[in-house]
Structure 1
């Protein structure tokens, strides 16, 4: 080619290979235990797997499903929102099925953000947030979560100061990846009041809604003034341990869902046909499933937290999610990226450096994230290996 113009769209120029791909490849190459990427090492309930197999054998979903999602899944999502949060959504006009929460986020940003619009995101943020804002032509405005009393917290004054006349949208993630923070009812109330006051749209990423260990999950869309200005996003992957199925959904007012659907139809259009039927059944699992799932992950959180503390890491105990954020300063380390790249050779464990989730890389330079959504024996093995780091 003779053109001097770069091949990659300039909006994506700052994004290379994701840190998850890099660290997972490192785990494969070294044979290390992968506590970097957030996927379980066991499958979800067998009844849900069998539901997918049954759908395939019965010819349900093997061809294109309806664009908004199969009616059974939209009904199940609506029923789930009513059952757990007392929220009523019309399954025909206020629920949209997507290829995981990642597509839901991308479609929402593409639909609602114009070039030059400011989008506030809590930092550190999941890496697809930055890419989605960039693809939409938006301007990313980070508000940094900082550790306080052993956990990460949001500074509401800093959030308020970040809002300008150009702010279009606030992107929230609670329970929060990677810090494990869960926004409190008081914090959510203040955010809702700010959104109403400044006429903001709020997008909430709630994929870890069933993995809150301290307190309870409160959907922002349930608060006064938020029903018509909130796009609520969740998915099956984290709640049922089928992350490869990529079945997500949007719940919002009909006009917001219509806008998101307008963008989504030109992305995947449809996906995961047979899995949609299986997820519809999964959403009707009894309360005992969700309680046992949460308690199992709580025990694994505590197991890995204790091991990391014993190995010399400063541990910020997560209130929810799959992840523990640590500080490596006490180990005599400063650079999380260098530390994570060397860790597999040092002790046979892979983790992820949090600095890649910040605009201000220095804010998270010494922070490293570990995933605990693994079998107990895997975590015990990892803990034994991590004790070599201090030495």
Structure 2
């Protein structure tokens, strides 16, 4: 199990660079230049990421959830430096405001941050709540999207609407009226906002879908047909379609099959796959609700294990770009996902861990978390990339790009990176 993780806990960085990283960790020095430019000039590291083919200034984004459900949260994320943000997931509806997945509109904003111990004894954190998708009106969601586009114009932080469309069982047809109305309405808001972003929509296969106990064939049917139904009702060619996969209650092999299904059946439509939504505990209870999604190291263990298996079986061919999610609690964890093809990562829990987890004492949670993710001397992105650069024998005067890492599985034997 320990060999899931490829990066050593002891970074291979010389003393001078260690001292510089420690200095940057203790005190912010990048406000004048900007975080990414400072890292490029000081360390010769390019930390740009990508969501699909959209370049982001760094690979760290906010995952869809309670922390991306109002405009003040989005503004804080943009001002304080996140690479991108995925908005809270709205539930699709038709022109009569009818929604086949009405049960996913649950108003339950309370969240509890808990320590969680994985099966192999690793301590981490998980956030527990009962809520599912957007619980306000669809018109309110459209207003959030429009205002978020305004923030993009000011800050250049991409914002990504997220939708859970109708997902039928084997005896049902897809309710195309919901796909048509929801997609076309979101595209209208995008058109009216006149942003220089592509029209982006991420289909969110919620972790709570595990509670429905759908069959494997039903899930694979969703993966084959949902992207095409979304694409069917998009008029512009300037678009990015993302699919956020969940962790159903099947084995790793089926999880790999899900990724392969998208690549084999929808590679001409899907531009990025977010891998993978949280695990689901059928027995855990929270405020009288039985069946709760959870994260921590069990989640990253499974996600990385599945992506490693996918890379081993499929990685010699070109595959749909990956945006990682699941226990991204350090720059080192971000690199672990990047070594399996991820060009960005989406975070939720790390923005809510106890304050003592952050070196910075002032500023927003976003600012504190991003500083930690970049400059932690033991597991930040800077020290991890510098260590990886040394292991690969790349000269210090050569710029090392974060976006070089997702291609390493094609060039080097990954188990020799420690």
Instruction: Identify whether the pair has TM-score above 0.5, normalized to the shorter chain.
Output: no
TM-score after normalising by structure 1: 0.34
TM-score after normalising by structure 2: 0.33
